[in-house]
Structure 1
């Protein structure tokens, strides 16, 4: 990316962040190598909360594993408590369409809002299943005690189902980022302030999401009164595919800028990629590789286990003291031969409100004809009548379909076209003479008679 393009993007992003003003506190969000989580204490229904997360590029939080739940619990334990409520109820990304109950599954027929292992074994329910609610949509909230030291005891962090239309105390969003920038070192004027794409400001991030802006305060430089008091940089994807800041550190100007050598343009020992530093260089590897202990060589992240290969396992294997067993990635299961992996048809579990399409390793939900997904992936009726060309006459929208009605004086033929209705032959409405014309008719009388006010009799 060119410096001018990065600067324009950075300024545009800072303006949009300032306009958004989300009001998250310093401890209301947390980021790790996989993404970020944030708590919003705003009263919303499940649908409104889900939309609020989507509007900022995230989703309602999902917890497929106990480890993922632990990250959320740590965030909630450290979050500054707003107000004096002893207990909060926060929406999470778990919901159940009508008539999808299951007494045998850990999630009880509920599904997470993001595509993943919907058959996961982790759950954290506060009470037994409520079968009398199976006919209506239900959504899940997490109970959070605001007192210090509540930990994971009692009903703290436990899940409870309820009506999706209730306005609860808040909700938890998660934001997935495949790329992160490293935090910047204090250059003498104080720590950098980071603004993430979901409008969170912090000086304490250990992983800074792609698209974030860093504002670095600079120390006063007596020898250079024109030196800027702060410098701003953007976390971007560079031309070589790596992620880093739009300007290399140090960001703050110095009265005597040091000269750096281009170590990587000459001979170096890096097997794959080389990156210059002030006094030397370092090596890094392409996606799918990690740097070896020698600091120069690259190796695969997940080397193939020779035992698994000898066993004939297609994907991987689990090795215990008693046996070796072939395993498969999520969305697949071991085939009859015990070695090959076959796709799991998740659609047999009916995870979707309308139609389910199975794909290798996963599935996706679609809608019946006459419906379309909205921006929260719920199927809503298509109003075909908004298109003026749908019907020749009058259009009547129905749930999942529509009807075309002919205007008065016309009737529908076998092909659904509106043609003139000959009232004179169909109904004989007139007392004496009937004259048909396109879209209507007119009565008249024989010589010596006159038409009455009803327009029909003579």
Structure 2
């Protein structure tokens, strides 16, 4: 007991030393926090320094509950002007119009949250610091935020101080006044709840000296209470029931004391009464647990205890980023969502994996290519995407590129080159046909050329034709088809290497190939004739030049006919 008194005296002396810097201010306490209104013309930084020196920060406004408490504080103080709150934008940071706080941050730190109460949009800047004040709006009872330069002084500022718990108002048995000295340096004559460490000074009427009580805790089983418990300013039970809530008892030689009705127990303040089962009816929004002298509220997972100590507030788990893709907050929990093309994986469902759409049947008409979050349809070789028909594949006609030496047959997704005609073999490079060589006879190519140039048709129908090897001693007959019509009783000729019987696919293409060969031969003959005529014309022109007569010297003289000489007498010539 002596130790407790000594500690109390030391605390009182400490508080008296601090009293020189204490001030009277309007205070509102609830749950685990107190809010104060200070009337002092300061800039934002100086106001924040004042709050920090007393163990707090400029007040944040993180939700409707805090906004309501600050409005209650302004109304109780009758303050009509603006007051700094703990929201600022430092120099070098830009205003973000798409965010609720517009890029501003709370002086107390923590998550920005989604609550905002701007009266007007803040000035868009990246070069100057801006700070926010709480201002009354045009309508009574409402308030909002406005930004201004941080160095501009305002006539007031709001602070917030957080504590582990609160004590109720100090009860008085007799007439008197109570003055509370809070741990954050503020004096107040009235508090609905006093934070831990508050010293209450009671001045009793009737000439009695002041009485002191300290909010201590936590008590055994939790909770906070005044020590000594009181009631202070003792008086007879006839005066205000001795300060007791239920009954006041007086015994000879003892001071009055309080008692409770059946079913109730005396509270730690020794004046008020609480139900024996403090949790019936349940005063909490969540779970209530009875404690000696009171109760304790707790909330289910996904909720947190409200500042009043009884209600429960939903926790936004999505602020911690528990999901890989998207997070949706739900009452008391959250839901992870995956982007299109992905599906949840794992037991918790917080992660997402790519969905293989190609595993589903009928996704694509031919080939399917899976990509992260989606897929693509492709076509097999020999097909191409058909324009305007979605994922349909259209067969490519390879024969249009003329890949074969002869005829080409288009197939679904590919093509086929028809074999060379009878008597020919394909070239090694796959383009063109060459004649089958024979031994001791004229090459089959020459024979085939003679067959083409002579105009002898080779019938490819029921009468199979054979390449008849012609020698130089046997003349060829023109315009007479050579067939394989074998007389009855005659022994059929053994087929040669050149004259193998064509298959069904050759029977229809033989006449066409023969016509191509005949036309090619005619074109070659015409070219040879034209060349021969041109050569003959050149030679005639040269011959004419060579046959021109050469001129002689006699061509320049005239010949005179010879005349007889005249003779004189005696027969002499003159």
Range of TM-score over shorter length: 0.5 to 0.7
SS of the residue corresponding to residue 124 of structure 1 reads coil
Equivalent of 2:190, from 187, 200, 204? 204
Matched, 1:40 2:38: yes
- Paired with 2:103 and 2:224, the residues of 1 have a C-alpha distance of 40
CA separation of 1:300/1:329 partners in 2, compared to 1, >3 Å: closer, same or farther? farther
Higher helix share: 2
CA displacement at 1:23 relative to structure 2: 3.3
Matched, 1:247 2:228: yes
Matched, 1:256 2:246: no
Equivalent of 1:140, from 132, 143, 149? 132
Unaligned runs of 5+ in 1: 82-86, 222-227, 261-269, 305-314, 318-325, 344-458
> After superposition, what is the alpha-carbon deviation per residue over 1:135-188, rounded to whole angstroms, capped at 9, x for unaligned?
22211122247x9x8321xxxx22121211111212111111121111122221
CA separation of 1:295/1:35 partners in 2, compared to 1, >3 Å: closer, same or farther? closer
Equivalent of 1:105, from 99, 104, 126? 99
93-102 vs 42-51, greater mean Cα deviation: 93-102
CA separation of 1:316/1:195 partners in 2, compared to 1, >3 Å: closer, same or farther? closer
Per the alignment, residue 54 of structure 2 pairs with 56
Per the alignment, residue 229 of structure 1 pairs with 209
- Contact 1:290-1:298 within 8 A present in 2 as well: yes
- Contact 2:225-2:269 within 8 A present in 1 as well: no
Per the alignment, residue 68 of structure 2 pairs with 70
Aligned runs of 1:51-450 on 2, under 5 Å? 51-81=49-79, 88-97=81-90, 98-118=92-112, 120-131=113-124, 133-144=125-136, 150-152=140-142, 157-220=143-206, 228-237=208-217, 240=220, 242-252=223-233, 256-257=253-254, 290-291=288-289, 301-303=298-300, 315=302, 329=317, 331-335=319-323
- Paired with 2:123 and 2:149, the residues of 1 have a C-alpha distance of 12
Per the alignment, residue 429 of structure 1 pairs with none
SS of the residue corresponding to residue 169 of structure 1 reads strand
- Contact 2:198-2:215 within 8 A present in 1 as well: yes
CA separation of 1:342/1:17 partners in 2, compared to 1, >3 Å: closer, same or farther? farther
CA displacement at 1:9 relative to structure 2: 3.7
121-130 vs 51-60, greater mean Cα deviation: 121-130
CA displacement at 1:289 relative to structure 2: 7.1
CA displacement at 1:252 relative to structure 2: 3.9
- Paired with 2:318 and 2:189, the residues of 1 have a C-alpha distance of 37
Unaligned runs of 5+ in 2: 236-251, 258-264, 280-285, 305-313, 337-574
- Paired with 2:322 and 2:58, the residues of 1 have a C-alpha distance of 32
> After superposition, what is the alpha-carbon deviation per residue over 1:304-358, rounded to whole angstroms, capped at 9, x for unaligned?
6xxxxxxxxxx579xxxxxxxx975474245259899799xxxxxxxxxxxxxxx
Per the alignment, residue 7 of structure 2 pairs with 6
Per the alignment, residue 399 of structure 2 pairs with none
Q: TM-score, normalised by structure 1?
A: 0.54
SS of the residue corresponding to residue 192 of structure 1 reads strand
CA displacement at 1:46 relative to structure 2: 0.9
- Paired with 2:110 and 2:296, the residues of 1 have a C-alpha distance of 29
SS of the residue corresponding to residue 88 of structure 2 reads strand
- Contact 1:39-1:173 within 8 A present in 2 as well: yes
- Paired with 2:294 and 2:198, the residues of 1 have a C-alpha distance of 31
> After superposition, what is the alpha-carbon deviation per residue over 1:178-210, rounded to whole angstroms, capped at 9, x for unaligned?
211111222212242212123333333110111
- Contact 1:333-1:342 within 8 A present in 2 as well: no
- Paired with 1:289 and 1:140, the residues of 2 have a C-alpha distance of 38
- Contact 1:283-1:296 within 8 A present in 2 as well: no
Q: Which has the higher contact order (CA 8 A, sep 6+)?
A: 1
- Paired with 2:21 and 2:320, the residues of 1 have a C-alpha distance of 42
SS of the residue corresponding to residue 158 of structure 1 reads strand
- Paired with 1:90 and 1:278, the residues of 2 have a C-alpha distance of 39
- Contact 2:36-2:159 within 8 A present in 1 as well: yes
> After superposition, what is the alpha-carbon deviation per residue over 1:273-318, rounded to whole angstroms, capped at 9, x for unaligned?
x979699996889xx97335x99998872256xxxxxxxxxx579x
SS of the residue corresponding to residue 257 of structure 1 reads coil
CA displacement at 1:49 relative to structure 2: 0.4
> After superposition, what is the alpha-carbon deviation per residue over 1:6-56, rounded to whole angstroms, capped at 9, x for unaligned?
3124312430342114132xxx22111231111112111111000000111
* Number of aligned residue pairs: 295
CA separation of 1:15/1:176 partners in 2, compared to 1, >3 Å: closer, same or farther? same
CA displacement at 1:68 relative to structure 2: 0.9
SS of the residue corresponding to residue 128 of structure 2 reads coil
- Paired with 1:93 and 1:215, the residues of 2 have a C-alpha distance of 32
CA displacement at 1:109 relative to structure 2: 0.2
- Paired with 1:187 and 1:77, the residues of 2 have a C-alpha distance of 31
